[in-house]
Structures are given as C-alpha cells and as structure tokens.
Structure 1
Amino acid sequence: MEYAYLGPEGTFTETALHYALSRFSPSPNATCVPYATVPAALDAVRRAERAAAMVPMENSRKGVVPATLEGLTVGGDLHIVAEVVVPVTFALLAAPGVGLDGIGRVLSHPHALAQCAGWLRRNVPGARLEPAHSTAGAARDVVVADDPSCAAIAAPAVADQYGMRVLAQDIGDDENAVTRFVMVRRAGVPPARTGRDRTSLLVSVGDRTPAALPGILSVFSTGRVNLTWVQAWPTGTRLGTYRFFVDVDGHIDDQPVSRAVAALFDIGAEARFLGSYPRGLAAERAQRPDRVSSPHRPHPHRQEGHALSTEQPVPGTAQDRIVQLGLGFWPAKVLLTAVELGLYSDLAEHGPADAATLGKRLGLHPRGARDFFDCQVALGLLEREDGVYRNTPDSAAFLDRAQDTYIGGLLEVAQELWYRSWGNLTEALRTGAPQNNLGGADGNPFAALYADPELTSRFQKAMTGGSLAASQALAAKFSWSKYSTVADIGCSEGILLSTVLAAHPHLTGIGFDLPAVEPTFEETVRRSRPDGRMAFTAGNFLTDKLPSAEVVVFGRVLHDWDLDVKRMLLEKAYQALPDGGTVVVYESMIDDDRRTNTFGLLTSLHMLLESPGGFDYTGADCMGWMTEAGFNQCSAQPLDGPVSMVIGHK
C-alpha cells in the first residue's frame, strides 16, 4: 500500500505518518510517498493513487494549516481516520563550515518561522525570513541553493539526511509546542469506536452566521457533547459568511453525537461528516526515522513492544482494493451465516463462552468454528478476552432477536432469498427480468410474500430492520411541531409511526398497508403503547385512495415500482393532503451526480433483481416528480447514512 504525506523526506509529517502506520497498517511493505504540497497529497487520495494521506492540521502555537482546511472543504469525498500529535523540536541547519554570524537568510515553513521568532530576533536579527512548503523542504532548498548565507529551520535529524551542520538546537520559543496531524482517506465507513474518539464536522449556516452560531453551540451543550474545537472558515461567496470546522468528543455512532448532528438540521444548519477516529495518538518527540520508506525502498514496519494493532487498518488501493472489493461476499456471508445460526442471540441468552463451548451450542464442527468466531472479532461483531467470546454492544443491541432494536430480520431475508438472487445478476443485466423466484409471470414478489403468513412475518421484520435508523433520524430531523396527523403508506410493522409518535406525543398516526400486515402492526402497537394515537387502515395503495393526513410518508416504497406508479402515488398523496400538508419520501437515494452513494446504486440493482420495474433514483428526480404532481418548495436532506428524504409542500 502507498501513502502520501507532505514532503520531502524528513518532515514532521513523515514522522506522524510512520507512527500512524506502526499503529494501523497491516502491511509489512507500506510505501510512503512525499508530495510537495498539501493539496497535491490530498488529490492523490481523491484519485485513488494513494491509500491515505498524512497532512498537518494545526499547531499549538500558530493555529490551523489553511491548506489542509481548504482541502477538506472541497467536495465530500475525504474522511479523517486517525490523528497524531507530534512534539516538535527545531534546529537551525546550514552548510558545513558556515557559522551563525554568516547567516543572512532563514528558510522554513511559516509555522516554524513563527515558533522560532524570538530566538531568531535575538541571535540572527538581520536575517531575512523566507517561507517554504515544509521544514525538510527548506533544508533541501538550502542545499540546492549552495548559498553559505542561507540556513533552514527543521528537525535536527534532517541534518544527517542532507549533510548539513546543526548551528543551534532547541530554538523554538515554546518547548511544549506540538503539531496535530490527520490521516485522510477516501470517504467510507469510519473506524470502529474505541471509547477515545473524536468526530469532525463541517457545519454550514448559509448567510445567517451571526444568528446561527449561538444555536450551533447550544446544540452541543444541550446534548451534553463536549465541543473541543471550532474554527471559522470563509464560504468564499460573500464577506462575513462562514462555515465552521467543529470537533467533538465521541464517535458518530455514539447516540449523543448522532443526535446532536441531527439537531443541527433542526436549526437550519447543514453538517458534513468529516470523520470519526481515535483521538490524540501521541508520537514520541520527532526524530528522523531510521528506516524511511520511499517509492523505491519499502518500509518494513517494526512492532516493538506490542502486537500488531487491532485498530481498523487504512484500506489499500489498486490491487488490494480491487481484490477486497471482489471478495466482499466473504465477510458478508460470515455475518449472514452468524445471524442464521443465531450466534448473537445465543451469546445474549446463554452468556459468553469459549470456542469449544460456543461451537457445541451452535452445532458447529470444530474444524472451522474457531476461525469463524475470530472472523467475528476481526469484523468488530464479537469481543474476545482470554479465549472467551461475547457480543459487542452493537451486536447485543441490533443482532439479538430478543431485542426490540433487532435488525437481523433484514439479514435473515438477505441470507435466504436475496443472496441467491444476486447470484443471477448477469442474467438480470442481460434480460432485464427479475430473479427473485417468488413472483408469478410478471416477476412481482409481493403477491407471493403476502399469501404466506410465515413469509409475511419475516419480510415485515426485514423491513423493520432496514428502517429503524432512518425512522429515528426522521423523527429527529423533520419539523413535526406544526403538524398533528401523519399517514405512513406501506407501513409494514409500523416502526416509523411508533418511533415518530414516541418522540412527538402531540401526533396521531395511521398505518396504511395490505390486510395481511395488520397482525404484525398491531403487535407493534401493543409493544409501543401509543395511547390510542396509532391505528391501522387496510388497503392497497395501488388501487385505493390514500388516507387523509397532514403528513404523508412513503418510506422505501417508491423504489419498488416503475416510473408510472411512482408518479401515480405522488399524485395520490397530493389528493390526500390538505392545503399546507407535506409529503415525505425517504429512500437510499442516489446522489445527483450518480457517483458517491454506492449503496443507493446497489439498491437500484437490487430492485432490478427483485421487482419487475422498480428502480432507485436521485433527489433531483424525486423533486421533479413532486413538482409534476403539484407540490412546491421541494427539498432534499440527508437522513441516516445513505438514506435521504425529499419533502414537498402542498
């Protein structure tokens, strides 16, 4: 794997990169490639030429590094996955034979020049200070210039690299100065929670900066989320308008953090996720690595004093990335099989166990059991201590069948039905025909699903599992206060209504779906106890009128159908709403440029396999259909992960 950093060799950034790789990289032959500027290093990651880039973020004395912040504002395709804090020690370097009294020019990075300003005024008061892209680059430039009046400020160890003389050491004005570096990769799933995490956001407030900033601060204060860093950054559109880089303690998967992010949307702000990652990895005082890797010299990372880190590695590029993508069904089957076997439910019911005991409880052959359980550990689904396996907090919450938050129903259907359908993707692409083996001649699976009570129950649980997070996000992000009634069209077990009504006691809700769904819906009513505010209405949204309400919601419904049906359903929603009413559509919507929401695109292929005419779509597509139906002031907004909602007003 190849990693970019702000070069040349010998920079503090390289020190930070080597330290991070010793902690995170599983590869013994990682290659570190220097780049002349921060934008060049970040662009190499964007183009997938490098697995990740290490760049400086801020210095304890002189603040932020503008090039890094500017690089993170461009697009939404980069995430921070690690941070390293490096103590910095500066020395004044010059050519051999040059003395301090002969120095007329001093080159270095602007932060280094500023951090040594006091020493320079006292010892070389007449020297001209000249900025460079990096400290090591300044040393190299001095050597190339071959000017005896030139000196550079850099790490002491750089002198050996370039054959220079150390004129003075420890010249920094603050012996406790540190620089924070961040490792950045292409956007993806963040590293798993460690309990010592930081989440970075870019919050936009449009033209309402003075009024909105107190609201942003209040969101985190009210949510008891520790705000550790705020940095204003110009929008570039008009003087006095800003975006805000924000760091908070915690992981995006921690409820206080995710709720705070959702609350930002409620006050009209937009929050772009920049990463959740382990905070404050402290490297030793910067020294020149004794084993620098270059594009021509692979760097053999040593694991001194500890085993190879169990933190999530930074993913590779090129061959590694392609192979991992092609074999992505391996970890998928490990999870799906564990759900089928009831592994997580067994651990919840019968308690932690060693491999032999757990294998016997599940009826597994000893040959593969240990590898199977350790794969769960490597994937972050189980914990193991002293040979004993137990659920992680996430597995206990979401993969134990006894929990109301169980999402495994979706995975059970994936294991039993969808995995086989995806095996026929080639046939579907060649013929355009669904491959689900459930429908009749038209390939529509719903008649078969709802004719079998057992299939109906399992399918409803799958829909609940796939909608839980989106329902929670919709309850938090949509402005429910000005409405009193809501109808969920294609309500399934009723997870959306139960979640929204629990969060907003002033609401009443109607679930509208086929008669076969009513028993599972009523079970949700019994569990959630919404005090008579949640009722079921049987009907077929293809042939019947929709129930009247002030808000009509289509959750993962429109993508099942062809374009004509999509338009018809939105027209029916318009007819069912009073003036001032609102339609809400949420799906794993494809991004408008059809480049980045991979899950949305894959979901559309899933519709190819599972339905005769269904397909997923972009937010712009949906807003266009809403406008055709008569809705106005249409807008799109992210909900949870790949899921977005589109809102239209009557």
Structure 2
Amino acid sequence: MTSDSPPPRRTYSYLGPAGTFTEAALAQVPEARDQQWRSVRNVGEALDDVLEGRSDAAMIAIENSVDGGVSVAQDALATIPGLRIVGEYLVSVDFVLVARPGTRLEDVSLIAAHPVAYAQCLRWLTGALPGHAHIPAASNVASAVGLLDGSSDADAAIAPPGILDHYELEPLARSIGDNPDAVTRFVLVSRTVTPPPPTGADKTSLIVELPEDHPGALLELLEQFATRGINLSLLASRPIGDALGRYRFVIDADGHVEDERMADALLGLRRFSPRVVFLGSYPRADRAVIRYPERYSDDVFVEARDWLRGLLSGEPEA
C-alpha cells in the first residue's frame, strides 16, 4: 500500500436489518460513516464478530428507560473476556403502525409486533384499535418485513420510524408509543483497547461480584464509591447462575478511570471483590460535565499520596 492509498475501511456490526433502532445508534458514530456496516441477528453474533475480527466494533442496546437493562447484553459483557465499551449513544424510542400499501386503519384487526414494542404501544392500540389481536414478532423490523414477504398473516405491524426509509410500506399512524420520553441507550463495543482520554464528561462501566452473602455486603460495595464522591448512574443486579441468591452487579459510575478518585475506587473494589470486570471509560452520550465536591478533586488524592510517601521516606512534616 502506497502512502497515497486510503486507509482500509472499518467494519461495524449492528442488529439488523436496515431500519432498526440499533442502526440509528450506529448512524451517530462519526467514525462509522462511509464505512462497512454488517447486519447481524443478535447480540451474541455482534460480539463474536468483534472477537473474531470480522468487525472492528459492534453497536448493542444495553439499557432502556422504560424496561430497564437489556439482560442479554449485560450478561454477555460480564462473561465474555476481551471486550471494551468505547462509547455510548442515546436513541429516542418511537413507533409507527405500518401496513401493505392500500391498507386503511379501519382494515386492521391483527397486528404483528415484537413483545416489548407491543407493550410500549398498548395504550394507543387499546384506544385506536380496541378489537385487535397481537402476533409476536422476532424483531421490530421483522414484524414489518413479514407483511411484504408473505411470511406474516398480520394486517399491520409496529415498527421503528426508520423502516419507512427502506421499505414500501403504508404508514397508518405515527408516534404511537405510550411514553414520548422513552430512550434506549446503546454502547459501541470493541476489542480491549486503551480507554480514550478523559473529557470531564465521562462514564465508567463495571461488573462487580460480592465476596460472599452477608448483611451489609452490598453497602460495603457501594461505600467504595460513596467515600470517594462518585455518583452511580446505574446499579443493576444479574444472577451469576451458579446458585440461587448469587448476583453480580452492573455499575455505571460518573467519571473516568484516569480520575484519581475513580482509580482509588477501583483499587478498593479490587481488594473487596473476588471479580471486577472493567468494561471501559468513555464519554457520556449527553456530554454532561461531572460535578463533585472539591474535597474529592484529583489534587486532594495526589496530595494525600504524597503525604504518605513523605511519611515512609522519613521526611519531616511541614
């Protein structure tokens, strides 16, 4: 390759086909524009693409403001080594009711929809189509594609708005979601890399297991953050799977691993927990600058460490 040759194109995996919310999240990644996008069928396939080198990164959904954490993604990140979150992106969740061209709303009695999408539109459906029936679909896009390829007997489908950019479908109603503020959080996952430098508006994601089940164990875990002035924006439990009552915790903490207070907290967690998985430090999607009391500034931690170093070296105290 000569010096004038363009750099090789990067490949990004996403839950497809075209028109999904995941595709909308990937469209927010500047470095993914004009690169190769690889449509996959599930989270496991997306992460396998990354680990096996078919893709440079994968976009996956990890949290929804209505339904909470996406358990399959959280469990995969907790158990598959060699992955790192390098960015997060937010997508507003809205739905349209679509049908084959020529269909009218009053013709609809059978609706195809992914169960989660159906639940998030149930109030609207009850009011607009009280006598309808529901056929579960494998995905938000599959519910609509089935209308065109003949694999679905439904009269209409609930789908993401982006579906209308890719398929000849009749929009019967728009913005049918019951919660106009619904948002899904996506993360871009690559192989293990050095975290991007801190921006002041960062988030650190971790998986932490408790050492044993005893009164106050969770409090001890949380104290690792509280005593260092670190706010948690996510704390979710997931079963480890080896016995009843055994859980790991999915944690999003405000700050970057290069922040002195965050680094100190991670050292505390490492001493406390039998297993800590560092998933990454990366810029927050909302770019909100992290605020914290002055007593938790980096300078305070550095001064304390220098003070201790002076004690050990025999320096006289000032």
CA contact (8 A) 1:37 1:133 kept: no
Q: 1:122: how far off?
A: 2.0
Where does residue 15 of structure 2 map in the other structure?
6
Q: 1:134: how far off?
A: 3.0
- DSSP-derived class of the 2:193 partner: coil
CA contact (8 A) 2:99 2:169 kept: yes
CA contact (8 A) 2:201 2:284 kept: yes
For residues 127 and 211 of structure 1, the distance between their equivalents in structure 2, rounded to whole angstroms, comes to 50
For residues 81 and 180 of structure 2, the distance between their equivalents in structure 1, rounded to whole angstroms, comes to 37
- Name the amino acid aligned to 1:5: Y
**In the alignment, structure 1 residue 178 sits paired with structure 2 residue 183:** yes
Q: 1:71: how far off?
A: 1.5
Q: 1:123: how far off?
A: 2.3
**In the alignment, structure 1 residue 120 sits paired with structure 2 residue 120:** no
For residues 145 and 502 of structure 1, the distance between their equivalents in structure 2, rounded to whole angstroms, comes to 73
CA contact (8 A) 2:78 2:277 kept: no
Match of 2:315 among 529, 541, 544: 529
Where does residue 342 of structure 1 map in the other structure?
none
Q: 1:269: how far off?
A: 4.8
- DSSP-derived class of the 1:149 partner: coil
- Name the amino acid aligned to 2:144: A
Where does residue 37 of structure 2 map in the other structure?
32
- Name the amino acid aligned to 2:42: T
CA contact (8 A) 2:208 2:273 kept: no
Where does residue 236 of structure 2 map in the other structure?
231
TM-score (norm 1): 0.42
CA contact (8 A) 2:204 2:253 kept: yes
- Name the amino acid aligned to 1:502: L
Deviation digits for residues 486-529 of structure 1 (CA, Å, limit 9, x no counterpart): xxxxxxxxxxxxx7992797xx7xxxxxxxxxxxxxxxx4xx62
Deviation digits for residues 409-431 of structure 1 (CA, Å, limit 9, x no counterpart): xxxxxxxxxxxxxxxxxxxxxxx
Deviation digits for residues 190-230 of structure 1 (CA, Å, limit 9, x no counterpart): 11111110000000114426531111112111110111110
Q: 1:117: how far off?
A: 1.6
5 Å-filtered alignment, 1:557-596, equals none
Match of 1:19 among 25, 28, 39: 28
Where does residue 518 of structure 1 map in the other structure?
none
For residues 223 and 151 of structure 1, the distance between their equivalents in structure 2, rounded to whole angstroms, comes to 53
Match of 1:86 among 83, 91, 94: 91
In structure 2, relative to structure 1, the CA distance for the partners of 1:529 and 1:130 (3 Å cut) is: farther
Q: 1:262: how far off?
A: 1.0
Q: 1:64: how far off?
A: 1.5
Q: 1:133: how far off?
A: 4.2
- DSSP-derived class of the 1:244 partner: strand
5 Å-filtered alignment, 1:205-354, equals 205-208=210-213, 211-281=216-286
5 Å-filtered alignment, 1:188-587, equals 188-208=193-213, 211-281=216-286, 502=308, 525=313, 529=315
Q: Which has the higher contact order (CA 8 A, sep 6+)?
A: 2
5+ long unaligned stretches in structure 2: 1-9, 288-297
- Name the amino acid aligned to 2:18: E
Q: 1:178: how far off?
A: 1.0
Deviation digits for residues 552-605 of structure 1 (CA, Å, limit 9, x no counterpart): xxxxxxxxxxxxxxxxxxxxxxxxxxxxxxxxxxxxxxxxxxxxxxxxxxxxxx
In structure 2, relative to structure 1, the CA distance for the partners of 1:130 and 1:242 (3 Å cut) is: farther
Q: 1:41: how far off?
A: 0.8
Which of structures 1 and 2 has the bigger CA Rg?
A: 1
For residues 138 and 281 of structure 2, the distance between their equivalents in structure 1, rounded to whole angstroms, comes to 28
For residues 103 and 202 of structure 1, the distance between their equivalents in structure 2, rounded to whole angstroms, comes to 45
Where does residue 614 of structure 1 map in the other structure?
none
Name whichever structure is richer in strand by fraction.
Answer: 2
CA contact (8 A) 2:46 2:58 kept: yes
For residues 309 and 116 of structure 2, the distance between their equivalents in structure 1, rounded to whole angstroms, comes to 49
CA contact (8 A) 1:197 1:250 kept: yes
Where does residue 142 of structure 1 map in the other structure?
147
CA contact (8 A) 2:211 2:272 kept: no
**In the alignment, structure 1 residue 103 sits paired with structure 2 residue 112:** no
Task: Give the count of matched residue pairs.
Answer: 294
Name whichever structure is richer in helix by fraction.
Answer: 1
For residues 316 and 164 of structure 2, the distance between their equivalents in structure 1, rounded to whole angstroms, comes to 72
- DSSP-derived class of the 1:15 partner: helix
CA contact (8 A) 2:206 2:278 kept: yes
Q: 1:107: how far off?
A: 2.8
Q: 1:91: how far off?
A: 0.5
- Name the amino acid aligned to 1:225: I
Q: 1:42: how far off?
A: 1.1
CA contact (8 A) 2:209 2:273 kept: no
TM-score (norm 2): 0.84
For residues 181 and 123 of structure 2, the distance between their equivalents in structure 1, rounded to whole angstroms, comes to 15
For residues 149 and 48 of structure 1, the distance between their equivalents in structure 2, rounded to whole angstroms, comes to 39
CA contact (8 A) 2:147 2:154 kept: no
After TM superposition, the structure 1 stretch with the greater mean CA deviation from structure 2, 139-148 or 53-62, is 139-148
5 Å-filtered alignment, 1:564-643, equals none
For residues 131 and 82 of structure 1, the distance between their equivalents in structure 2, rounded to whole angstroms, comes to 32
Percent of aligned positions that are identical: 38
In structure 2, relative to structure 1, the CA distance for the partners of 1:225 and 1:504 (3 Å cut) is: farther
In structure 2, relative to structure 1, the CA distance for the partners of 1:230 and 1:133 (3 Å cut) is: farther
In structure 2, relative to structure 1, the CA distance for the partners of 1:264 and 1:146 (3 Å cut) is: closer
5 Å-filtered alignment, 1:57-72, equals 57-72=62-77
C-alpha root-mean-square deviation of aligned residues, in Å? 2.7
For residues 23 and 148 of structure 2, the distance between their equivalents in structure 1, rounded to whole angstroms, comes to 20
CA contact (8 A) 1:62 1:115 kept: no
